[in-house]
Structure 1
Amino acid sequence: MNTLRQAYFCVLDNYYSGPVMDPKELLQSAFAAYTQNLMRRGADRRHLQLPALSGNRDTDWAAVAKVLGDGDPAALRAAITGMVAGLHDDHARWVRPDPSQGEPIGTGITGVSAEYGPQLDPAARPPLFITRVLPGSPAAKAGIRPGDIVVKANGVPAFIGDAVNQSLVQAITAPGTVRLTLKRPATGRTRTVELKEGPITRQPPAVTSKKLADGAIYVQLPGFYEGAADQVIAKLRDKPKVVVLDLRGNGGGSPREVTRLLGAFAHGKVTSYFCPLKGECVPNRTDDSVPLLGARLIVLTDRGCASACEDFSAAVKDNGLGTLIGTRTAGAVSGPSQAYLLDDGSAVLLPKVRHLGPAREIIDTIGVPVDHYAPMTALDLATGRDPGVVKALALL
């Protein structure tokens, strides 16, 4: 119970809009998740009702705590998850220590076409296809490749009309056993695979590059992790005329890496703003200690480009630093999170400021639009064709 109490007051004290939040709404989200967990387990209590709340954070907590008593442990965990989820903030979440030991297990399917950022893509359309498979994983050993179309999972169709089946997507990427009916787009061959979880190896993120035509270089950056900007800059030491920077599937990372990498393409530019609840927004600026490359910049984005990746993409677009190709980004960039440790070793991650683009526009929930639409299809993945790179070369 004390962990739920800590999480409740932590949100009110530290979340971006916590000081002006209505504590009644926060407790309602927690209480609803608590009772729903009990109902799913057949453990509902007939006298369990949300008490009358006044809007005073202290007396309202005392009233709810009195009703819950010692609390059901599983339902209390659900209450914290539900309370944080009730903020409807893509950078707010509750994380718990992973008690598992040893090497990770899974099927090795780490991406499907209906995903964007940390959620399902509302713009997803049939077919559903696999986008990423870990080398050496059970999926790779079963001959499953990027581009394979998922016709069914456990006998359930991937789409109902034009709506993707969310539980099916979770069944494909989660640990466990799943029966997949797959279609190879290049040949039309259909087969059924019984895929079981097994050991998987996740390689640390790394920057890769290759030369393209007309003095261009292609660089793929999987995330804005510590040192990522310098790794990209090292790939560009020969001063290419054009840089095709692939940020597709880049889930974000450090804002500092964003401003440092942008400093290789422009100086003296505002890249974004961090805005407190009250007071002036603080501008973030290019790192002008980085030498300018003098190269033309083309950025490839998709619905998997989230958080710091969108920060970078918006800075490129708004400041006229380059061209964006692919699809609109995820729209998951509410603000950078800070971790607050709770008494059970878990932590609440909460944004203390709000992110705005260089033109002070809201990008969160909306995303950054591209200049040239070039989505990746199942056939493209299956045959090795990259429509983003093709479009980039056509623009040279």
Structure 2
Amino acid sequence: MIKALCAAVLATCSLSVSAPVSAPVSAPVSAPVSVPVSTAAAAPCAPATEPPPQSAPPTSVNTLRQAYYCVLDNYYGGPALNHGTLLRDAMAAYTQDLMRRGADRGDLKLPALSGDRDTDWAAFAKVLGDGDPAASRAAITGLVAGLHDNHARWVRPDPPGGEPVGTGIAGVSGEHGPQLDPAARPPLYITRVLPGSPAAKADVRPGDIVLKANGVPAFIGDTVNQSFVQAITAPGTLRLTLKRPTTGRTRTVELEPAPVTRQPPVVTSKTLPGGVVHVVLPGFFPGAADQVIAKLQGKPEAVVLDLRGNGGGSPREVTRLLGAFAHEKVTSYFCPSTGDCVPNRTDDSVPLVGARLIVLTDRRCASACDDFSAAVKDHGLGTLVGTRTAGAVSGPGEGFLLDDGSVLVLPKVRHLGPDRELVDTVGVPVDHHAPMTALDLATGRDPGLAKALALLGAG
């Protein structure tokens, strides 16, 4: 799963088309470079079935053309989109990038649009002329952002081989898709630090409250500061102002990105009082369902499935894991722009566990995690404890390769819950509210797990 702030961990983010993908970090400002536009039509975007080429031409107006038509032809909402709005958003981002670099052009304006997508693109491209690589990148980002879809992203996948570089901060409490949670309340705190990373060596710990990143405050009053995302994901040295909740001490650390070890995700478990099995599932990665099912072979009477911080993954893993708790159930619907919705169903080849189920969720439970939680809630398969899920589950994405080696990730269907409700942007409410605080994390307390055990009579 690609977390919202993965650029704080790694310089580039791996591509995961079945989960939200973080927005690319802007390239450093440089002087405009003209790239001639081909007189021939750019090739259409193609499904990204193989890794992108290691060398590719710069982002150009042709790349922007590919992105424009790729959205109209492949996005599930493409047929209903106003192509003029796409061009407007692209032009706004293009000109804003030029202005930020002091390179605005007096002849650059959005042309009058005819209503025909091909004619209007030709007029748009004529105004751009040779184009500017950095501004073209900004235009694609703006075009995709205008979709307001948490599973639509433009990314540059990690090149094959090589060691990832980052600070080692693997999560913060306000993560919510590609931005910070608009419902987040202060404070914002670190949830995970990679061992041996620059952050770990600087004694940054889970529970440490982040007051500022590169001078940008995490909150303005009680309102989360969305500009904080750009500050914490900016390339180069990360300067954090931190407060330790156990002592009240405030300090500033400077973290230089360095090679970090990225371990593959794995399911862990332990047996708690009363024979309750606590299973931590960090993501719905390939094979995750079978790893959880293997932990339950002892047929426990109760399972606490911990999905906090689970950023999603494969819909197949969701239906397979739900098959351990119910059969013959519709788990969700995938709906195209036109035609009937297609139901997803439990994998009834999985033997039923027969255990009482409690699921721990939080606002970082997104995408496939939203999907799983909605099925548990709607079918009464268990009790949800913690906080409402992220509501970042517009639909599973598919990657499309552009000519500069980048990938456009677009949902081809829309997700609905088992009751045909819209989970995206809303999330799944819990049955028992038990949020984690910075002090809880710093001192090892776990209100969600304590509530789960109390409900099971095992506390």
Tell me whether the two structures share a fold, i.e. TM-score over 0.5.
Answer: yes
What SS is found at the alignment partner of 1:102?
A: coil
Task: Deviation per CA, 1:311-354: give whole Å up to 9, x if none.
Answer: 00000000000000111111110011111222222221111111
What SS is found at the alignment partner of 1:214?
A: helix
Q: Does the CA-based 8 Å contact 1:111-1:173 persist in structure 2?
A: no
- Per the normalisation by structure 2, the TM-score is 0.83
Are 2:352 and 1:297 aligned? Answer: no
For 2:407, the equivalent position in structure 1 comes to 347
Q: 2:87 aligns with which of 8, 23, 27?
A: 27
Q: Distance in 2 between matches of 1:29 and 1:301?
A: 35
For 2:435, the equivalent position in structure 1 comes to 375
For 2:42, the equivalent position in structure 1 comes to none
Q: Does the CA-based 8 Å contact 1:117-1:303 persist in structure 2?
A: no
Q: Does the CA-based 8 Å contact 1:153-1:178 persist in structure 2?
A: yes
For 2:259, the equivalent position in structure 1 comes to 199
Task: Deviation per CA, 1:180-213: give whole Å up to 9, x if none.
Answer: 3322212223333233222211111000001111
What SS is found at the alignment partner of 2:343?
A: strand
How do 1:119-268 and structure 2 match up within 5 A?
Answer: 119-172=179-232, 175-268=235-328
Q: 2:377 aligns with which of 317, 325, 330?
A: 317
Shift of 1:309: 0.5
Q: 2:394 aligns with which of 331, 334, 341?
A: 334
Q: 2:417 aligns with which of 348, 357, 367?
A: 357
Q: 2:144 aligns with which of 84, 87, 105?
A: 84
Q: In 2 relative to 1, CA 167–100 (structure 1 residues): closer, same or farther, beyond 3 Å?
A: farther
Q: In 2 relative to 1, CA 150–343 (structure 1 residues): closer, same or farther, beyond 3 Å?
A: closer
What SS is found at the alignment partner of 1:248?
A: coil
Unaligned runs of 5+ in 1: none
What SS is found at the alignment partner of 2:192?
A: strand
Q: In 2 relative to 1, CA 342–179 (structure 1 residues): closer, same or farther, beyond 3 Å?
A: closer
How do 1:261-276 and structure 2 match up within 5 A?
Answer: 261-276=321-336
Q: Distance in 1 between matches of 2:271 and 2:157?
A: 42
What SS is found at the alignment partner of 1:358?
A: coil
Q: In 2 relative to 1, CA 58–156 (structure 1 residues): closer, same or farther, beyond 3 Å?
A: closer
Q: Please give the root-mean-square deviation of Cα atoms over the aligned residues, in Å.
A: 1.6
Task: Deviation per CA, 1:186-245: give whole Å up to 9, x if none.
Answer: 222333323322221111100000111112100011111111100110111111111101
Shift of 1:149: 1.6
Q: In 2 relative to 1, CA 148–290 (structure 1 residues): closer, same or farther, beyond 3 Å?
A: same
Q: Does the CA-based 8 Å contact 1:271-1:357 persist in structure 2?
A: yes
Q: Does the CA-based 8 Å contact 2:111-2:123 persist in structure 1?
A: yes
How do 1:1-80 and structure 2 match up within 5 A?
Answer: 1-80=61-140
Shift of 1:33: 1.0
Q: Distance in 2 between matches of 1:92 and 1:319?
A: 29
Q: Distance in 2 between matches of 1:179 and 1:338?
A: 35
Task: Deviation per CA, 1:11-38: give whole Å up to 9, x if none.
Answer: 1111112122211111111111111111
| Amino acid corresponding to residue 238 of structure 2 in structure 1 | V
For 2:33, the equivalent position in structure 1 comes to none
Unaligned runs of 5+ in 2: 1-60
For 1:281, the equivalent position in structure 2 comes to 341
What SS is found at the alignment partner of 2:170?
A: strand
Q: Does the CA-based 8 Å contact 2:108-2:127 persist in structure 1?
A: yes
Q: Distance in 1 between matches of 2:360 and 2:399?
A: 31
Shift of 1:156: 4.7
For 2:5, the equivalent position in structure 1 comes to none
Q: Distance in 1 between matches of 2:216 and 2:116?
A: 48
Q: Distance in 2 between matches of 1:226 and 1:100?
A: 20
Q: Distance in 1 between matches of 2:417 and 2:197?
A: 39
> 112-121 or 278-287: which moved more?
112-121
Q: Does the CA-based 8 Å contact 2:214-2:232 persist in structure 1?
A: no
Q: Distance in 1 between matches of 2:286 and 2:216?
A: 41
| Amino acid corresponding to residue 177 of structure 1 in structure 2 | T
> 136-145 or 339-348: which moved more?
339-348
Shift of 1:110: 1.9
Q: In 2 relative to 1, CA 153–367 (structure 1 residues): closer, same or farther, beyond 3 Å?
A: same
Task: Deviation per CA, 1:55-95: give whole Å up to 9, x if none.
Answer: 21111111111111121111111111111111111111112
Percent identity of paired positions between Structure 1 and Structure 2: 81
How do 1:109-128 and structure 2 match up within 5 A?
Answer: 109-128=169-188
Number of equivalent positions: 396
| Higher RCO (Cα < 8 Å, 6 or more apart) | 2
Q: Does the CA-based 8 Å contact 1:106-1:176 persist in structure 2?
A: no
Q: In 2 relative to 1, CA 50–100 (structure 1 residues): closer, same or farther, beyond 3 Å?
A: farther
